Structure 1
Amino acid sequence: MAILGVCSLKGGVGKTSITLGLASAALAAGYRTLVVDLDPQADSTLALGATGAAAQDVAAVLDNPAPYVVESALAASAWDPELIDVLMGSADSARHDGPTQAHRLQRLAAALETVADEYDIVLVDCPPSLGGLTRQGLTACERALVVTEPGLFSVTAAGRALQAIDDIRREHAPELRPLGVLVNRVRARSSEQIFRQDELRTLFGPLVLSPVVPERAALQQAQGSGRSIHDWPGAAALELAEIFDTLLERALRSLQNPTHTS
């Protein structure tokens, strides 16, 4: 079971949209997929059509990662009830976002071990901050994808996120590595964005992933209609679907090869 965290230390960069795009690619490839919604806004849960479909949620799992609690917090996605499940997000998870003792950081990892035989890939949608939830999420992961956009504050946040990943690896999760920095919502003709993309490559070199994700209305349209990007019509949706296919393939290749980190 491959476990990939999707994170950002700045809100509004499209982190959940990237998680959903990767889930769409996994579905299109036929992978049994679990999306762990750690963000108290629970947008992944809503977009995947799993709202109210489980007895408990991720907050209960972080209280007690016993197998029966984990099972009670899983819900099938409306995208495909056979291939995609959601570990339900909720606003209640915010109570786990404060300072977290070291032994509690392993609770999500322990929970995922109880379902290791049921999924090919797990996508962990972390909150846009470095609180207890993100730390627990990344501690459970083997790779972490940092989502940013080509703007001044987002570039700074990407650097903080990479540092946080390294700190968590050293202290709690020796298997954790950065998959890379994914630049989202790119507008090809924006001189400011071109400058910021060059800045990202100067700062982070090969960790900046290619292809970037262009800004396309099709992504929001598909999500608003409760459908995956691979299931949405039009050339823009096809372009995005192919990008997410490439990103997922890169993630799985990295997860299968421990020496490959970008």
Structure 2
Amino acid sequence: MQIISISSLKGGVGKTSVTLGLASAAQARGIPTLVVDMDPHADATTGLGVRQDVGTEDVGTLLSHPRRVSLAEHVVPSGWPDTRPGGTAEADAGTGGVGSAPRALDVARGSSRTSLFERPTTRPRELRRLSQLLESVTRYALVLVDCPPALNGVTRMAWAASTDVLLVAEPSLFSVAGTERTLRALDLFRREYAQGVRSTGVVANRVRPASTEHQFRLGEMDRMYGDRLLPVAIPEQGNWQQIQGAAWPVHAWPGETAARSAALFDELLAAVHRPLKDRRSQRRH
């Protein structure tokens, strides 16, 4: 099972949008995927069409006693329509309708309770909380963890449980500099507490191709991050707020702009999601 933490230590760069885009691409490919919403704002939960009154415990509550609960018993299906070939036209709360494939996208919903773990910590007992929760989920090939935009205990838990970390940055001065500092912090944390992290990468998001400033910053990111900078850049999309507000996957949204974004998220998923045998034999920085 590949566990990818999507992180940023600067808010407003589209971290949750990238999480949702990757979830949409994974669903379209039929990859059994779980989204774990660790951000206290729970925007990924909302964007995936999951209500807070579904009768299961949220991640923040489960983290309080990870050894005594089963995360697998508290995941819920996303509210998205099924975009797989042959999938159902509407989201199914079970294993799919007659003639449909088993559902491929589930959610461990977020809530403000996760903020109880935001205090900085390097205590092994605290860092293992998410790892212990994920031990009970085995049906997924991919887990996407949407982290809060801060280097706190919640983000550290996510990194400690992950096989890969994806940092989201926009091509602006403060974001580029902040991401470089985050990479240094991640490398230090990885050596001490998260040896299971096999790869770290950066994706440029909210890129305006016509902007001279953005093109300059993209060149700067290439020089600073080297081969950690993924070859896929996600452009700024005017109707992204509309797509998220409708709690809809980008792969199902009509229009050429959405189709181009969906294709880019397909490329991004291909860049970060690798079969287990490849992850064992291939290491990056």
Shorter-normalised TM range:
over 0.9
CA distance in 2, matches of 1:118, 1:54: 21
Percent of residue pairs bearing the same amino acid type: 43
Q: Give the letter for the 1:13 counterpart.
A: V
Q: Give the letter for the 1:108 counterpart.
A: L
Q: Deviations over 1:71-103 (max 9, x none)?
A: 453221101442211111001110100033222
Quote the offset at 1:67 in angstroms: 6.3
Match of 2:154 in 1: 133
SS of the residue 1:213 aligns to: strand
Alignment CA distance shift 1:192-1:28 (3 Å)? same
Q: How does 1:110-129 map to 2 (within 5 A)?
A: 110-115=132-137, 117-129=138-150
SS of the residue 2:6 aligns to: strand
Q: Are residue 148 (structure 1) and residue 169 (structure 2) matched?
A: yes
Uncovered stretches (5+) of structure 1, i.e. residues with no partner: none
Q: How does 1:70-85 map to 2 (within 5 A)?
A: 70-79=71-80, 80-81=91-92, 82-85=103-106
Preserved contact between residue 198 and residue 284 of structure 2 (Cα < 8 Å): yes
Q: Give the letter for the 1:163 counterpart.
A: R
- RMSD between aligned residues: 1.6
SS of the residue 2:20 aligns to: helix
Quote the offset at 1:34 in angstroms: 0.5
Preserved contact between residue 9 and residue 151 of structure 2 (Cα < 8 Å): yes
Q: How does 1:218-233 map to 2 (within 5 A)?
A: 218-233=239-254
Match of 1:102 in 2: 124
Match of 1:90 in 2: 111
SS of the residue 1:86 aligns to: strand
Quote the offset at 1:171 in angstroms: 1.2
Preserved contact between residue 10 and residue 149 of structure 2 (Cα < 8 Å): yes
Match of 1:26 in 2: 26
Uncovered stretches (5+) of structure 2, i.e. residues with no partner: 81-90, 93-102
Match of 1:43 in 2: 43
Match of 1:250 among 271, 279, 285: 271
More displaced stretch, 80-89 vs 229-238: 80-89
Quote the offset at 1:69 in angstroms: 4.4
Match of 1:261 in 2: 284
Alignment CA distance shift 1:253-1:21 (3 Å)? same
More displaced stretch, 191-200 vs 141-150: 191-200
- Larger gyration radius, structure 1 or structure 2: 2
Match of 2:85 in 1: none
CA distance in 1, matches of 2:73, 2:249: 25
CA distance in 2, matches of 1:178, 1:138: 11
Match of 2:83 in 1: none
Q: How many residues in Structure 1 have an aligned counterpart in Structure 2?
A: 261
Match of 2:5 in 1: 5
Give the number of the structure whose residues are more often helix, by fraction. 1
Q: Give the letter for the 1:42 counterpart.
A: A
Alignment CA distance shift 1:261-1:30 (3 Å)? same
Alignment CA distance shift 1:243-1:46 (3 Å)? same
Match of 2:204 in 1: 183
